[in-house]
């Protein structure tokens, strides 16, 4: 039976993480030449190319993606096995949860959904990342996160996709607002307001301001800077914010994605159970 060297696998994993030989070599404290040799030997052993090289860096080939999935699953199961053999924390879960999501769900939905799991298993470490929608798939692809939560349903053979719930959004303004018809969005590419106005069949010029994330939008509305289409679960208790039209709601389906594996750790199973059970309740309140 063929066995892969852990030295070669470690070199591969750090290259996949950084997408650049120089940065990867720096992390594991070897020369770039030595790192390249390890990758070359691993590719020779496997009889396939793992990376596509370019001037800007390196990208995983389909074979490289498959090997990355293996490395992630191996690390998770190995850590869990070692804890069991050592007899430490037999009744508790251990490991690291790495989740990427967008700004309106990371703090307000994902974190409270996992709170009970984290409190009951203090050895579990949570790394929670908030990023733009188009960056989350890249984080999962590079192995920077094990789960991503976003609006779009990414149908891929290597992914498991689960619909958690729908996020309901309303057009809001500060109570007593009498300013111009000015809309607040995250950035120029944010289409939330445009989608809402299209649904309302509104015509005319749309003037916008950009406040980076959903909490910036909430603050902007509360300060009377403009109007914003905001998630109901974030503004339902804000006394200074008014829903302009309660009959018109913009709904976005929220999906959980993670890599398909032949085996899953107990921690993974607990994470998926917590998210699928609690996220819908939080988003529907």
Question: What residues contact 217, with CB distance under 8 A and at least 6 apart?
Answer: 184, 185, 186, 211, 228, 230
- What does the DSSP 8-state code read for residue 30? S
Taking only the tens of pLDDT, the chain with its 285 residues reads 567 788 888 998 889 888 889 999 999 999 999 999 999 999 998 999 999 988 788 888 889 888 887 887 777 777 767 766 776 666 788 888 999 999 999 999 999 999 999 999 998 999 999 998 888 988 888 888 999 999 877 777 788 999 999 999 999 999 999 988 899 999 999 999 999 999 988 877 789 999 999 999 999 999 999 999 999 999 999 999 999 999 999 999 999 999 888 778 889 999 999 999 999 999 986
Is residue 164 a contact partner of residue 149, using CB atoms and an 8 Å limit?
A: yes
Residue 130 β-bridge partners: 101
Domains of the chain: 1-87 (1.10.10.10), 88-164+253-284 (3.40.190.10), 167-252 (3.40.190.10)
CA neighbor of 23 nearest in space, from 56, 65, 49, 47? 56
pTM for the model stands at 0.76
Question: What tokens does 49 get?
Answer: 């190319």
Q: DSSP characters for 158-222?
A: TEEEEEEEEEEEEEEEETT--S-SEEEESSTT--HHHHHHHHTT--S--EEEE-SSHHHHHHHHH
Length of the chain: 285
Question: What tokens does 4 get?
Answer: 């892969």
238 vs 240: CA distance, rounded Å: 6
Instruction: Name the CA radius of gyration of the chain, rounded.
Output: 23
Question: What residues contact 65, with CB distance under 8 A and at least 6 apart?
Answer: 141, 158
């Amino acid at each position: 039976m063929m066995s892969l060297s852990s030295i070669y696998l470690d070199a591969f994993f750090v290259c996949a993480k950084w997408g650049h030989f120089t940065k990867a070599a720096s992390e594991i404290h070897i020369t770039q030449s030595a790192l390249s040799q390890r990758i070359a030997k691993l590719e020779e052993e496997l009889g396939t190319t793992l990376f596509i090289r370019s001037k800007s860096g390196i990208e995983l080939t389909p074979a490289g993606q498959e090997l990355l999935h293996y490395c992630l699953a191996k690390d998770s199961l190995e850590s869990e096995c070692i804890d069991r053999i050592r007899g430490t924390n037999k009744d508790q879960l251990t490991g690291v949860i790495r989740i990427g999501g967008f700004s309106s769900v990371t703090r307000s939905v994902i974190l409270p959904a996992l709170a009970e799991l984290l409190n009951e298993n203090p050895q579990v470490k949570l790394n929670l990342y908030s990023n733009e929608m188009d960056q989350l798939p890249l984080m999962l692809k590079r192995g920077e996160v094990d789960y991503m939560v976003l609006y779009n349903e990414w149908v891929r053979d290597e992914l498991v996709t689960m619909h958690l719930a729908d996020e309901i959004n309303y057009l809001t303004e500060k109570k007593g607002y009498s300013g111009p018809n000015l809309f607040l969005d995250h950035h120029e590419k944010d289409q939330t307001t445009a989608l809402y106005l299209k649904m309302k069949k509104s015509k005319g010029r749309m003037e916008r301001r950009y406040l980076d994330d959903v909490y910036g939008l909430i603050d902007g509305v509360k300060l009377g800077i403009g109007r914003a289409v905001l998630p109901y679960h974030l503004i339902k208790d804000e006394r200074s914010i008014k829903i302009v039209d309660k009959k018109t709601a913009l709904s976005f389906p929220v999906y959980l994605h993670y890599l398909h594996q032949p085996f899953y750790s107990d921690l993974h199973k607990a994470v998926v159970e917590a998210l699928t059970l609690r996220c819908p309740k939080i988003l529907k309140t």
